[in-house]
Structure 1
């Protein structure tokens, strides 16, 4: 039987270079006050032995843990996983965060926390004590939960807040939700739509209001009415179906709907079908998020593509920079969403009839 090759450890490097473990750790971590000749000797041993620093070795310096902790909403995430709805928010979050962390020799750890739990502070405290992360990434609705942001600020742990303007500390990052809603509304107006309905998201999320604000602003700029055309939703399929049904039951019904997420957009398609309306001939639909469910469905849907991976990557990058002591840009970092045109939007029915 061939002998299994023994993994090279920091001890092997220290022995080969003839230095202490602490010295090797300081070289790995680019610590100051290491003599150039000592640095060269350690790096030569690392190269010769093919050593890859582990997080444990990096943490020996005591200044950094080389871990970024990302928190997501437990209830909604588990519900999506169990229902197998095809939402890829978590996938994109991991893609952006993990790859960016790896570029800097970091690792990202993903945890689920229930923002409504009375024990949320205790849960997060336990994670912070166990992991000692160099920074924390918060996603909505955690981004604006004062219990969570207050705890992180009190413990002086850098934290990034996605979908938040950052009131009360932290590093805010937004995806241009208001502008994206304006893009979607402009696209429909250019197609001749005048009765453009809007389905809101959950009030727990600041971005829900930003999206509604963008729709209202663009409708006002075009001199179009919004009365009765805004219906409440909470990101669920059921709420989207109720809202779309209400918009399609108006005496002067909506000829287009902008839904604040993909699930409610899919529900809008179902509500239209139940009323005998064809998409996009009789009704145009635009969604937010652009997850696989809308791109690969029977009617590929025009959607606002949310740059989740890029935003989480930027959050990780800023946290790592903050831990190094680098200056962080003032104000929210913006990673802009964009409109992807597909087959669920077409000229308004009245215009199509004249052509």
Structure 2
């Protein structure tokens, strides 16, 4: 049986080899009619592109790397889901690479990854999104990258985030409007920019409603379930005890809810508890957690989608001077009210 090649497809569809290549790489400078003609040829000829040959021909790997260091498994899963969706759409593969932010040889490890895997680009997820040294290293190496959930949008890189500060403000304001004044807060990991953003939203809501900030009501967590339990243990033994607890993510909030139940406190009758992220645990425990839903999958999908477009558009014409405006986008988070919050007892 004769082997079907890209030349066979081009001849069958009546187009050039370059046009077939553009369709394979999902490049935009192909008309819809021509694209349909080539896709039809793929199907009728039962053509399957050879990814290795495709990569060698263009001196590319068609692989995007995703760096992460996050204790929340559900958050990582959602990041991967969004990145995979974008990669699949463009015919790329995704390489998931866990790293430790505070590792002594972080940049050396990243450089080795780039050399051995021949990555076409990197997507930086929290806490790497705002790692200035890493960003400077990638710029120096000329490695295309996109950032997810970065605080800064004022540079020339692809960056997609949600408004964490506003989300934290809204959930704190919800508790205030219910009648709570003593609202405890559990911070997230100090290396994550979202930690400070959510804390700022909490404090802004207190200030806007004329409620005094109390340092005794704030505990340091690190986004893990166990840190939430430790922080909640301190908070729930305060005298007087706050009437509400707002944790910087759902896992810490779930730990606080469990501990409150073990102390024979009824949620939300005796104490209201809220989280952030809308992780699966927020829906699967009882009472369900009031939380903020971040569009994590959409953020990552958009970031990777535009990263691949940037890579695909790195043509000779652009290198001669054409510049593309990088995506810098902030998506809105959504307040979700469930059974874990209510007005405090009189």
2:64–2:94 CA contact under 8 A, matched in 1: yes
Quote the offset at 1:24 in angstroms: 6.1
For 1:41 and 1:88, how far apart are their aligned partners in 2? 41
Q: CA offsets, 1:252-281, max 9 Å, x none?
A: 321111101122111211332243211011
Counterparts in 2 of 1:144 and 1:29: CA distance versus 1, 3 Å: closer
Q: 1:188 aligns to what? A: 175
Contact 2:25–2:90 at 8 Å: present in 1 too?
A: no
State the partner residue of 1:161.
147
Q: In 2 relative to 1, CA 20–251 (structure 1 residues): closer, same or farther, beyond 3 Å?
A: closer
Would you say the 8 A contact 1:149–1:168 is kept in 2? Answer: no
Per-residue CA distance 1:34-61 (angstroms, 9 max, x = gap) = 9xxxx99987864541213343343344
Pick closer, same or farther for the CA change 1:289–1:45 going to 2, 3 Å.
closer
Q: Distance in 2 between matches of 1:270 and 1:124?
A: 39
TM-score normalised by structure 1 residue count: 0.81
Q: For 2:280 and 2:188, how far apart are their aligned partners in 1?
A: 19
User: 1:285/1:29 Cα in 2 relative to 1: closer, same or farther (>3 Å)?
Assistant: closer
321, 332, 335: which is aligned to 1:336? 332
**Residue 54 of structure 2 is aligned to residue 58 of structure 1:** yes
Report how far residue 210 of structure 1 moved. Answer: 0.4
* Cα distance change of structure 1 residues 280 and 58 upon mapping to structure 2, 3 Å threshold: same
Native 8 Å contact 1:184 1:304 kept in 2: yes
Contact 1:22 1:60 in 2 (8 A): no
**What are the Cα deviations for residues 132-163 of structure 1, in whole angstroms up to 9, with x where unaligned?**
33321111112222342222111112211222
Alignment partners' CA distance in 2, 1:97 and 1:30: 16
SS in 1 for 2:139: helix
Alignment partner for residue 199 of structure 1, among 186, 194, 200? Answer: 186
Q: Which runs of 5+ in 1 are unaligned?
A: 81-86, 351-355
Decide whether aligned partners of structure 1 residues 52 and 259 sit closer, same or farther in structure 2, where only a CA change above 3 A counts.
same
1:172 corresponds to 2:162? no
**Residue 103, structure 1, aligned to residue 99, structure 2:** no
Alpha-carbon separation, structure 1, partners of 2:37 and 2:306: 32
Structure 2 residue aligned with 1:327: 324
Q: In structure 1, what is the Cα distance between the partners aligned to 2:331 and 2:178?
A: 27
Is residue 90 of structure 2 the alignment partner of residue 93 of structure 1? no
Secondary structure, in 3 states, of the residue corresponding to 2:160? Answer: strand
Alignment check: 8 A CA contact 1:302 1:340 kept = yes
CA contact (8 A) 2:25 2:91 kept: no
Q: Which residue of 2 aligns with 1:233?
A: 221
Partner secondary structure for residue 165 of structure 2: helix
Distance 1:40 1:173, change over 3 A: closer
Structure 2 residues not aligned, in runs of 5+: 315-322
For residues 46 and 248 of structure 1, the distance between their equivalents in structure 2, rounded to whole angstroms, comes to: 63
After superposition, where does 1:240-319 map in structure 2 within 5 Å? 240-319=228-307
Once residues 292 and 54 of structure 2 are traced to their aligned partners in structure 1, the CA distance between those partners, rounded to angstroms, is 41
In the alignment, what sits opposite 1:145?
131
Aligned equivalents of 1:283 and 1:102: distance in 2? 45
Instruction: Spell out, residue by residue over 1:108-145, the C-alpha distance to the aligned partner (whole angstroms, 9 max, x if none).
Output: 22111222222222221222123333321111112222
CA contact (8 A) 2:250 2:282 kept: yes
CA RMSD of aligned residues (A): 3.4
Structure 1 CA distance for aligned equivalents of residues 289 and 37 of structure 2 = 59
Q: CA deviation at 1:17?
A: 8.9
